[in-house]
Amino acid sequence: MQRILAAETPKNIGKKVLLAGWVYNRRDHGKLVFVDLRDRSGLVQVVGSKELGELGSEDVVEISGSVQKRPKEMVNPKIPTGGVEVRISEIKVLSKSSQPLPIHIDEIEEKASLDKRMDWRWIDLRRPANRLIFEVWTAMEHAFRQYWIDNNYIEIHSPKLMGAASEAGSELFEVNYFDRKAYLAQSPQFYKQMAMAAGFERVFEVGPVFRANPSFTSRHDTEFTGYDAEISFIESHQDVMEELQKGIAYALAAVKEKFGSEIEKTYGRKLVVPKVPFPQVTMKQAKDILVKAGVKSERKGDLSPEEERELSDYILEKEGHEFVFVTEYPIEVRPFYHMRRGDEPTLTKSFDLLWNGLEITTGAQREHRYDVLVSQAKEKGLKLPPIQFYLDFFKYGCPPHGGFGLGPSRMLMKVLGVENVREVTYLYRGVNRLTP
């Protein structure tokens, strides 16, 4: 017999079916035993007697039985399969769970600490609310890729092992590479720009990035997934921002269509598909707004997390939009490869994108003129030999181009209204966290 999912039981009333999944919980009523069986589609109640006697929490079982309507007064309206139950005829235990479990899956039980849940992440992920995170991630990522592929981007997989430090020497992990050193890429920045020099014109990449960042905040990690895109023959960073906002609106529309109601039910977050174009302010305008709002400026030419939240609140109130671009960061806070304004060379043709107070993207037009790039690198105090391989990309004809890097885990935090990046990461990596 072919296995069906718990969610398919209501379509199979009166039929004999095969189910498989985890024992979510059990209730003994005299001789009768009720078991809620959990699989990837949800829960269904199974009814039996002594054949269920030995079952414990989180045992994995295969059950055959007949699907029956439950008496009206017994219907559980909280779950989609609440109107049926499966009268068991046979059971096979596929895997016994040790008892007791180190953390409880049932939300009713006292919640374990985040750190303990990370220790037992595979049990933690069994919660339907956690499973939903990665279903949403899958849908969001697929939609982003669909947007890029529909718009003739090429997908690249650039190497994570580099022979020299990429953007800056700090926050870099060193690898023992045979008889020499290699470094883990902090971003695909240099290599997606290489694709522009190669004439690919439009590329995207989805992959891990590594930051030897010793901070412990709720939004930082040492390894995370990055989305990167780069496009050629642009006029300015505005062309990059246009592509970015279109991609985000496309992806969030897809997520909302597929999971909007489930997200609202589970996380209480009403997802809004943002209108295009997104509002934008220059850094100077942002600072003016913040001063008027009475927020103390901590960083010159850059925004603190508090300022980011305040600015987003202001824009949401004023323009009814959850997103806001901040443009024209001064050169001090931007890397050497960001292009500068011709008429105002202390400002870069760059942007950040904030969503409800969190920076989710950084982007810019890049400097593609070899001589200018070299002089900007020198000005930033970079040693040229380690980056000469990168500078060479601009020697043999390279079009004007720009791009962005976007953090999907930060997107997910905002999609679901979750505060900590650890919650939306499959397996979090931090200074003190390399397991499981």
Q: Which of residues 162-201 bind its own copies (CB under 8 A)?
A: 162-164, 173-178, 180, 182, 184, 191, 194-195, 197-201
Q: Does 389 bind its own copies (CB under 8 A)?
A: yes
Q: Does 208 bind its own copies (CB under 8 A)?
A: yes
Build a one-symbol-per-residue string for 31-60: x at contacts with its own copies by CB under 8 A, - elsewhere: -------xxx-----------------xxx
Site for its own copies in 295-334 (CB under 8 A): none
Q: Which of 214, 320, 345, 417 binds its own copies (CB under 8 A)?
A: 214
Residue count of the chain, please give it. Answer: 436
Report the nearest approach of its own copies to the CB of residue 56 (Å): 9
Report the nearest approach of its own copies to the CB of residue 14 (Å): 24
Build a one-symbol-per-residue string for 340-369: x at contacts with its own copies by CB under 8 A, - elsewhere: ----------------------------xx
Q: What is the DSSP string of 62-76?
A: EEEEEEEEPPGGG--
Site for its own copies in 224-243 (CB under 8 A): 225, 233
Q: Which amino acid is at 316?
A: L
> Measuring CA to CA, which residue among 429, 406, 426 is closest to residue 226?
406
Sign for the CA dihedral angle at 22, 27, 31, 32 comes to: negative
Q: What is the DSSP string of 125-181?
A: TTSHHHHHHHHHHHHHHHHHHHHHHHTTPEE----SEESS--S-STT--EEEETTEE
Spatial distance between the Cα atoms of 102 and 94, rounded to a whole number of angstroms: 21
Q: Does 12 bind its own copies (CB under 8 A)?
A: no
Size of the site for its own copies (CB under 8 A): 94
Interface stretch with its own copies, choices 6-14, 15-23, 77-85, 283-291 (CB under 8 A):
15-23
Report the nearest approach of its own copies to the CB of residue 200 (Å): 7
Report the nearest approach of its own copies to the CB of residue 112 (Å): 14
Report the nearest approach of its own copies to the CB of residue 69 (Å): 26
Q: Which amino acid is at 409?
A: S
Instruction: Enumerate the known binding-site residues for L-aspartate.
Output: 167, 211, 362, 366
Q: Does 413 bind its own copies (CB under 8 A)?
A: no
Please state the φ and ψ torsions of residue 430, each to the nearest 5 degrees.
-140, -175
Q: Considering beta carbons, is residue 113 or 152 the nearer one to its own copies? A: 152
At CB < 8 A and 24+ separation, what contacts does 377-382 make? 377/336, 377/337, 379/336, 380/335, 380/336, 382/168, 382/336
Interface stretch with its own copies, choices 26-34, 78-86, 410-418, 427-435 (CB under 8 A):
427-435
Beta bridge partners of 55: none
Q: Which of 4, 22, 42, 43 binds its own copies (CB under 8 A)?
A: 22
Please state the φ and ψ torsions of residue 373, each to the nearest 5 degrees.
-60, -45
Spatial distance between the Cα atoms of 139 and 126, rounded to a whole number of angstroms: 19
The enclosing H or E element of 406 equals strand 401-406
Beta strands 202-210 and 223-232: pairing type?
antiparallel
Report the nearest approach of its own copies to the CB of residue 162 (Å): 7
Q: Kindly state the tokens that stand for 275.
A: 């209108």
Site for its own copies in 121-160 (CB under 8 A): 121-123, 125-126, 131, 134-135, 137-138, 141-142, 145, 149, 152-160
- CA torsion 404-405-407-411 (nearest 10°) is 10
